[in-house]
Amino acid sequence: MRPFTYTRAKDPAAATQALAGNPTARFLAGGTNLIDLMKEDVERPTALVDITNLSLAEIKPITAGASKGGLSIGGLGKNTEAANHPLVRQHYPLLSQAILAGASGQIRNMATNGGNLLQRTRCPYFYEVSMPCNKRAPGSGCGALEGINRLHAIFGWSEKCVAVYPSDMAIALAALDAVVRVRTASGQERSIPFADFHRLPGNTPEQDTNLAHGELITAIDLPQNRFADRSYYLKVRDRASYAFALLSVAAALEVSETGNRIVQARIAMGGVAHKPWRALTAEKMLIGQEATPANFKRAADAEMAAAQPLEHNKFKVELGNRSIVLALQMALNGGKA
Amino acid sequence: MDQNENLDLSDDEKKLFEDLMPEDLTEILDTGVNRRHFLKLMTLAGGGVLAAQSAVAEQLFTKPISGAMPEELSAAAIENGVNLALNVNGSARKLTVDSRMTLLDTLRERLDLTGSKKGCDHGQCGACTVLVNGQRVLSCLTLAASCEGKTVKTIEGLAQTGTGRSRAGDSGAQLHPMQEAFLKHDGFQCGFCTPGQICSAVALLDEARRGDASYVTENVRRKTGPVQLSTEEIRERMSGNLCRCGAYPNIVAAIQEVHSGKPVEQTFRFSA
């Protein structure tokens, strides 16, 4: 690992200021991804600013503003605490499930909510510094585009990058229309709708998100919703646990009290794109329809018709199709098949 | 490390150093035998110079070598040094670490606690699992510098010292129930992952007691206080600890026994 200075920030202002003056300085929170990438020589910060002592861990109801009635989750709270908080379990079980689907007990005890969103891709070409990778070394090329790309994207990729985004938590947050609250380097507050937080690779795959250098995630706001009775996070992976998703689906439904008609549907997919992939085509098709397996299938077909698989991941198209149907079915039945 | 240990040279030992390394004698009497002295002595031994005094030399070589890296240095003595005070297995420790040093390397290389193992060093195997402020974490992905003021417990700190059965050796320590259960159920073969498995399992039971959910929990919305764990639940909750020997059924049985408080029968399944 390359040498770096280590300091602890006393408050958010000191933290953002510490990064503002140094383009190669980074925040250190849980460290579960950053420290690993530093060992691999993928990340090379010259300064780490430890922000774990900042009081930004609270989970509390939102009493004013656009998300009134929702829940605010501190950016520096631990994943374990968020997944097990009574208000999250009761009102946002989809988020609890998605967090618990990721990593291991040990890692969820370390990882923070803000840091989870900033995980970098697990593309093997990104990790292996002897390989070309436009995300790690812009302009060097993409090793995966014509390499081994079984794990890679089927939506929204570019010639520059076919990597997928790894977080489970973020897939649920995308489905729940969360809002990321940020403190800028100059001390301003800004809110980023979840759909605008992560980016597609385009010509600048080195940029994972729309956060500017030195911006600090203070909280993640969850708007109030009516999905708690009917939501499900389905994760498909190469082994039963402790593995990144080959593909995942966060599904949430609101069904009319009389009859079986879909009032609202949310579907977000993981493991298919450079960012959490909202299945907007499928969602639109489901509104006003009856919640039946046949309608779920029609919506899944429409969504997956736009997929552009690579040489080794054609299986993800059929897998995505079936996973959407199953996740919707599980959501409809309150988590049971 | 106990610095005083090295000051008690016997008369024979003093004479040996006087004969062979007179220029270092004052330093040795002052601060003990350090790595440089030891290496010098080894070189002399290699040349046969020590042969005549082999009995004394043997004694010396079997003494612990310390002083090579005192725990406290000025932070400036190490590039990007960080002064650190933390509690490890009940003892307050102060030391200066390179900012890059992980908690795992600090425990193993600086504090002589080699129970925690370096398996993958990338957070993929769980062999380095320790408890920090009571929570299980991966010490290989934790910077030591970030542990200021924290309480660390490793496999070495789980047994109760004092009276009781002396399965843990001559110390008279009583093993933690989870350690006993791993022994009883043969929850290991090579043993490399075991310290991490046991630390993880101890924390897992606390998590179940406070009602934490897992991905296989049927309904996360139902919060019922302490959770009774099924085999499936234990397997999911232990998935961060890999065992290449495949002792999983025995590990799960050991954890289930401590969790339920009832003896668990070993079950073996063979293919037809």
Kindly state which CATH superfamily the domain B75-156 is placed in. Answer: Beta-grasp domain (3.10.20.30)
Residue B66 — pLDDT band, cuts 50, 70, 90?
very low
For B204, the closest chain A residue by CA position comes to: A105
For A33, the closest chain B residue by CA position comes to: B141
Q: What does DSSP say about strands A277-278 and B81-88: parallel, antiparallel, or unpaired? A: unpaired
Q: CA-to-CA distance for A31 and A52, rounded, in angstroms?
A: 10
For B82, the closest chain A residue by CA position comes to: A6
| pLDDT at position A246 | 98
| pLDDT at position B4 | 42
CATH code reported for the domain at B177-260: 1.10.150.120
Closest CA to A246 of A272, A275, A212, A274: A272
Range(s) of chain B covered by CATH 1.10.150.120: 177-260
| pLDDT at position B121 | 98
Q: CA-to-CA distance for A227 and A21, rounded, in angstroms?
A: 44
Which residues from A are below 8 Å from B236, CB to CB? Answer: 240-241
Test B123 with A36 for CB contact under 8 angstroms: yes
Helix or strand (DSSP H, E) at A324:
helix A315-332
Test B146 with A31 for CB contact under 8 angstroms: yes
Low-confidence winner among A282-296, B30-44, B163-177 (lowest mean pLDDT): B30-44
Residue B90 in this model has a pLDDT that exceeds 90: yes
Query: What is the amino acid identity at position B103?
Result: L
Low-confidence winner among A202-211, B34-43, B123-132, B224-233 (lowest mean pLDDT): B34-43
pTM over 0.90: no
| pLDDT at position B3 | 42
Q: What's the whole-number mean pLDDT along residues B54-79?
A: 56
| pLDDT at position B17 | 67
Determine the residue among A48, A100, A104 to mutate to test chain B binding: the one whose Cβ has the most chain B Cβ atoms within 10 Å: A104
Which residues from A are below 8 Å from B121, CB to CB? Answer: 39
Which residues from B are below 8 Å from A107, CB to CB? Answer: 123, 138, 141, 240
| pLDDT at position B2 | 43
Range(s) of chain B covered by CATH 3.10.20.30: 75-156
Rounded to 5°, the CA angle A124-A126-A127 comes to: 65
Work out the minimum CA distance from B76 to partner chain A, whole angstroms.
12
The structural domains of chain A, ordered by start, are 5-53 (3.30.43.10), 231-332 (3.30.390.50)
Work out the minimum CA distance from B201 to partner chain A, whole angstroms.
10
Cα dist from B177 to B113, B158, B202, whole Å: 21, 9, 9
For A49, the closest chain B residue by CA position comes to: B146
| Cβ-contact A51, A76 below 8 angstroms | yes
- Provide the ipTM: 0.97
Query: What is the amino acid identity at position A335?
Result: G
Test B235 with A241 for CB contact under 8 angstroms: yes
| pLDDT at position B173 | 76
Q: CA-to-CA distance for B69 and A152, rounded, in angstroms?
A: 47
Q: What's the whole-number mean pLDDT along residues A191-213?
A: 98
Determine the residue among B122, B129, B214, B215 to mutate to test chain A binding: the one whose Cβ has the most chain A Cβ atoms within 10 Å: B215
Low-confidence winner among A171-185, A205-219, B53-67, B93-107 (lowest mean pLDDT): B53-67
| Greater model confidence, B189 or B5 | B189
Residue A255 in this model has a pLDDT that exceeds 80: yes
